[in-house]
Chain A
Amino acid sequence: MAMDTVIDMADTFGVGKQVHEQEVTKALSREDDSQTVGAPFVDAPRMVCRDVNVYYGEKQAISNVSLDVAEHEVLAMIGPSGCGKSTFLRCLNRMNDTVDICRVTGEILLDGRNIYDKSVDVVPLRAQVGMVFQKPNPFPKSIFENVAYGPKIHGLTNSRFELQDIVEDSLKKAGLWDEVSDRLDQPGTGLSGGQQQRLCIARAVAVRPEVILMDEPCSALDPIATATVEDLITELREHYTIVIVTHNMQQAARISQRTAYFHLGRLIEVNPTDQVFTNPRHRLTEDYITGRFG
């Protein structure tokens, strides 16, 4: 016991020394490894994550991640494949609940409330924190039904006209309206991959969430469709808070305000995006963005 404490203290000092010349963080973690470099915390955060650990059965996929998400920002998450970006993103609206073997510890607060609290209902939570998945996954229903489904189940409107307005508005926001306005009754699955992804964005937007989580939304898209989605994200930032996972570093540089770099389940560095790409603080981040490690 005493021995442990001594080691703990030694670690703490070690950390202190190492980050001395860097920005002082409020990290609660005690291990050298898990110390995040940079500015993971902001004033007036929209979401607050503290000491988040995620386990798939025995295997730990996320270790001690502490991070804030600011209001109306685009936060990009980058990192090598399998480092836990999707896993962490899915924690933010409890999508990991659907994975039986997945276990989450730590705190994730939305507007000051722990979303993993027993009293929290995931249905309103997911209405508040929407998600766009890596692979476009429209329902095998009409384009209209796809977008209208969320507002319908949440009872956002009772009138058909209002619903039509919501659908039109959402499709416009997703930059898809002009392409599909004359065939809303056709199956959403009949659209091209890029159109499907924008349909999924429209579907997420239609519920009027406050936070939108996007897991590599452009990985299946060609450059033109990608540009459309990027413009969209930039526009959406006015109204929403966006957390986006991307493998495309140019994309992260173009659209995000802050960038978080994950490595083997740990959050290595969080900093303003231009700083991460021009002057990374951590050696691992530097290796990754310069392509020495991928």
Chain B
Amino acid sequence: MKTENTSTMQVVNSGLAKRYAKEKRFRMLGIGAVVISLLFLVILFSSIVGNGYTAFRQSVIVLDIHFDKQILDVSNLRSANYAKLVKDAMSGLFPDVTGRSDKRMLHRLVSSGAAFQLQKMIIKDPSLIGRTVEVRVPADDEVDMFIKGYIPRNVPESERRISDQQMAWIDRLVDSDRLERRFNTTFFTAGDSREPELSGIKGAVTGSFFTLLVTLVLSFPIGVAAAVYLEEFAPVNRWTDFVEVNINNLAAVPSIVFGLLGLAVFLNFFGFPRSAPLVGGMVLTLMTLPTIIIASRASLKSVPPSIREAALGIGASKLQTITHHVLPLAMPGMMTGTIIGMAQALGETAPLLMIGMVAFIVDIPGGITDPATVLPVQIYLWADSPERAFVERTSAAIMILLAFLILMNGTAVLLRRKFERRW
């Protein structure tokens, strides 16, 4: 007996080192995997942030605008020649520039949006007419790029979009403190524009908001109802198996297919408005429903059967059992699934291209039937634009999108933490 015992211990001991080595190797592998994925994440974030952070600052030119009575002496203040005000002010700063083409080059340093800015000021406060006011107007995007150092000085003139002469003027503006860099509020308050310095993400964010609102309002109740029915009421038979298989299939269907479906059904058959968040939301609902249903069913399944039995055992009806006990316990899981589905929907581009949400839309949508675009599509549009200034805006928009995604997924995690296993 004794010898047998010691020999057992010897065998165990001799194997121990090997077992621990195996464990150690496994742990190293795991750490390696985590490190690699973190590394990719860091590379992704740093490249996006590195490209995009400059977009949050914008060059402005400080001009002394004289709101000339002559120019503004028109019956309709909207149609006055505000561009002339800007040009006059620029010429005032550079009296030595005389030639016609030189002047044109000089005036090009200021964004075409400056005229609209002045128009807005006058319409808001007509008492400015006749006075001279210091106004900060956006510089042209090429000037902005030059200031930010994206256009190097040392390349031949023919290869950059700013001439030597313009460069000299910009230097003079900087020296005389006429060129400032300020926080780029336009980026957060404007819709899309052909001019990078006038473009913003508000239109796309609003579009995304309306689209997700439609998606949420449709997919959460439908998804939860479907999950509750399938999990709690549906009999187990071939028909429900079939439904289950198809729901899982739907979850794997490429999203562009849903876009085609939306195009064929919602636009062409039902005649819903093109490019509208309403249709976008409906298409994304189709796409997120499987996610929500699967997550909701899983969280319904995870409610311990003893709770159901407890309720049924004292005579609660099936519906009472579900609404009073099962749903409250399953709700955090359902909400987590919904938020994850919503986050997917927020990042979805392809199906929305099919239903026309890729149009160039300047106005900020005011409702779910207005033409709109969404953040990821906006990113796609900007990424496709040739102007250098759109590159940083693309990255900045990605940063905003990522921020929303992190916010949503963080909420999902918090919800799970908060409500996890209360029983």
Contact surface of A with B, Cβ cutoff 8 Å: 93, 95, 98, 100, 122-127, 130-133, 135, 137-140, 149-150, 153-154, 187, 189, 200, 203-204, 206-207
Contacts and interface: CB of A to CB of B under 8 A. Distances in A.
A189 B313 contact: no
Contacts of A122: 315
Interface in B171-215: none
A130 B313 CA distance: 6
B135 to A, nearest CB: 63
Interface stretch (B93-101, B119-127, B316-324, B331-339): B316-324
A98 B325 contact: no
A126 B310 contact: no
Contact of A126 (B308, B312, B325, B422): B312
B422 A140 contact: yes
Contacts, number: 72
B310 to A, nearest CB: 4
B312 A153 contact: no
Given A140-B422, A149-B324, A126 B309 contact: no
B422 A137 contact: no
Contacts of B422: 140, 187, 189
Nearest to A100: B236
Contact of A153 (B236, B304, B316, B423): B316
Interface string B291-328: 00000000000001011111111111100100011000
Interface in B388-423: 422-423
Nearest 6 CB-CB pairs, A to B?
Answer: A127-B315, A137-B306, A126-B315, A131-B313, A150-B314, A140-B423
B343 interface: no
Contacts of A204: 313-314
B315 A124 contact: yes
Contact of B308 (A98, A123, A149, A153): A98
Contacts of B311: 139, 149
A139 B315 contact: no
Contact of A189 (B236, B316, B423): B423
A154 B320 CA distance: 11
Given A139-B325, A149-B324, A98 B310 contact: no
Contacts of A189: 422-423
A31 to B, nearest CB: 33
Contacts of B320: 153
A187 B309 CA distance: 19
B236 A138 contact: no
27 contacts: A95-B313, A98-B308, A98-B309, A98-B312, A100-B235, A100-B236, A123-B315, A125-B315, A127-B315, A130-B313, A132-B313, A133-B306, A133-B313, A135-B306, A137-B306, A137-B310, A139-B307, A139-B311, A139-B423, A140-B422, A140-B423, A149-B311, A153-B315, A154-B315, A187-B422, A203-B310, A203-B314
Most buried by B among A98, A100, A187: A98
Given A122-B315, A149-B311, 8 more contacts: A98-B308, A131-B313, A132-B313, A133-B306, A133-B310, A139-B307, A189-B422, A206-B314
A93 B9 CA distance: 55
A204 to B, nearest CB: 6
A149 B309 contact: no
B349 to A, nearest CB: 42
A149 to B, nearest CB: 7
Contacts of A139: 307, 310-311, 325, 423
A43 B236 CA distance: 43
B329 interface: yes
Contacts of B308: 98
A137 B309 contact: yes
